[in-house]
Structure 1
Amino acid sequence: MEYYLHLEIINSRGEVVLHSRRAFSWISSSVEAKFIGIVWAVESIGSHQMEKVIFASEIVGAVKRPRAWPSFRAYGSEIREALRRCTDWEMSAVSIVANKGAFLIAKSVTSEQKVQSYVASGAPNWLRDMIEEERCAP
């Protein structure tokens, strides 16, 4: 099965500095895709030499509390190993509802056949208004 993962890098003012989408065809489940996505995000942050990063994901517990997630121990270990390359990082939980921009970009892959992997600066043009509204919301 093929999965498409999305990465947004947002600065302290809530502005999208960089976004990326990548296709993976060898992933067997959505849970595995989420873990591979975190590793990919950590590696991407390292290659862009960014510091003081907060990684937001639905599966943060596997990294922060591995004993509570025994089925995902190997994934958590792989993520923690990748995080050793980051100097200043934090992980926080986020739901799909709270991360609407990333969800819409991932959804565009299937609904609009946008299947190419890419890295681009700023936010996608078609999402700029929505991202700005989210950034300014209380």
Structure 2
Amino acid sequence: MEEAKLWKGLNRARNSPLNCPSALVLARSWSPPLQSQVKCNIHANWRNNKLHYGGSWITRDYQGRVNHHAREAFTSSPDRLTVEPRVLLWALQSLRDLHVQEVVIGSDLSELVEAIKRPADWPKYRWLLQQVVKLIGAFPMVGFEIESATSNFLAREIARSVLRNGLFQSYLALGGPSQLHDRIRQESTF
């Protein structure tokens, strides 16, 4: 049974949950998902391999309303491409636990999307990418968008607060972060 599931996951037809267009244009402002979907912007704020790093995710609906946001402090990691899949795993686990069905993940690290699309080209990160692909299979639909730093501003600011402000306590909250409320309102008037 496990081998059949693995084979099915590796041999999905074009309706694969990895909905990654080959050429994506970086938008300067946040773009909404389809009405049936939630968009989850993620970011990992990594400085070097000796420090903790901060991760965050924030979900919004098709009207730009923030549903949830979360922040987490993680132990040190060797490079940025290791931390982003860890933050993605944490976000996907949280979204699964929140019973989100269809999600578009927005990240400003294009290498993350490339690694998920072609994990064989990234053998150093094989275990992490296998975990991501396995978790993606738990959702009816997961898509990916490459964001600009500007359009991923909210997730970036929440993740930066871990190291910048020493906010190592993790949390999950309804709605948007209060200190960024005006920016959320501004971005939602797309």
Tell whether the structures are fold-level matches, with TM greater than 0.5: yes
Structure 2, unaligned runs of 5 or more? 1-50
Query: CA shift at 1:97, angstroms?
Result: 2.4
CA contact (8 A) 1:61 1:69 kept: no
Please give the TM-score of this superposition, normalised by the length of structure 2. Answer: 0.66
Which residue of 19, 23, 46 maps to 2:73? Answer: 23
Per-residue deviation, residues 31-58 of structure 1 (Å, max 9, x unmatched): 2110101111111110000111111122
Distance in structure 1 (CA, Å) of the matches to 2:148 and 2:136: 21
2:114 match: 61
Task: Provide the TM-score with structure 1 as the length reference.
Answer: 0.88
Match of 2:163 among 80, 98, 110: 110
Alignment of 1:78-117 (within 5 A): 78-117=131-170
* Structure 1: stretches of 5+ with no match in the other structure: none
Distance across 2 between alignment mates of 1:106 and 1:67: 29
The count of corresponding residues between Structure 1 and Structure 2 is 137
- Aligned-partner Cα distance in 2 for 1:115–1:17: 22
Q: In the TM superposition, what is the alpha-carbon distance from 1:28 to its structure 2 partner? A: 3.1
Would you tell me which structure has more helix in proportion to its own residues? 1
Q: CA RMSD in A?
A: 1.7
Identify the match of residue 51 of structure 1 among 101, 110, 120: 101
Partners in 2 of 1:94 and 1:65 — Cα distance?
19
Counterpart secondary structure, 2:188: helix
